[in-house]
Amino acid sequence: MGNQADLSALAPRAALDDAALDQLFRTARTYNVFRDDAISDETIHQLYELLKWGPTAFNAQPARYVFVRSPEAKAKLGPALSAGNRDKTLAAPLTVIVAVDTHFHEHLPTQFPSYDARPLFENTPALIEPTIQRNGSLQGAYLILAARALGLDAGPMSGFNADLLNQAFFPDGRWKANFLVNLGYGTNEKLFPRNPRLGFDEVARIE
């Protein structure tokens, strides 16, 4: 019975239907304007419970998230935003600061129990920066897909002064901002025509 259960777990999964693929990828857009609908604590927690399952090297999970929703938090964020991003971000119902934890490796003994990988980063600190940037960015992408899966729309962006933002939100220097994502229920206002994408033969090959 045990072997049968193991084999059944390896059976191919069905592809998502077209409606789901459209929602996640084909018709999803980068939104600039959102409805006024508030994003609840429950939805924020649901969002994290989905995105946390994305894979990272050593299961390191270096991304950290600050969900900016209150007027006080928006007032802290505002001065760090570029002129082109300020108004739309302050008007969004929720902005996520996707940051990275420069001491992520302290959690490796519990999060990667296969072996003790923490000394790898303690003894070779040059590995920390590429690990947090690569895997933290991956986790930010998982956040966008998780948001779309929950029916939310996303507006990811850079366009901010990282030094000002880090001083305002992460003064101890342990976390560092990577990028921002506005979340909510998007409207067609200021929704630009979709830009083209490169074709397969321009970017890929099969060997």
pLDDT band of residue 187 (cuts 50, 70, 90) is: very high
Residue 170: name the closest of 23, 66, 36, 40 by CA: 66
pLDDT band of residue 8 (cuts 50, 70, 90) is: low
In the chain, the domains with their CATH numbers are 33-184 (3.40.109.10)
Helix (H, G, I), strand (E, B) or coil at 20: helix
Q: What is the pTM of this model?
A: 0.93
175-184 and 94-101 strand pairing: antiparallel
Tens digit of pLDDT for each residue in 101-128?
A: 999 999 999 999 999 999 999 999 999 9
pLDDT band of residue 2 (cuts 50, 70, 90) is: very low
Q: What is the rounded CA–CA span in Å between residue 150 and residue 50?
A: 9
Helix (H, G, I), strand (E, B) or coil at 79: helix
Query: Going by C-beta distance under 8 Å and a sequence separation of 6 or more, which residues neighbour residue 63?
Result: 98, 99, 100, 101, 135, 136, 139, 140, 143, 178
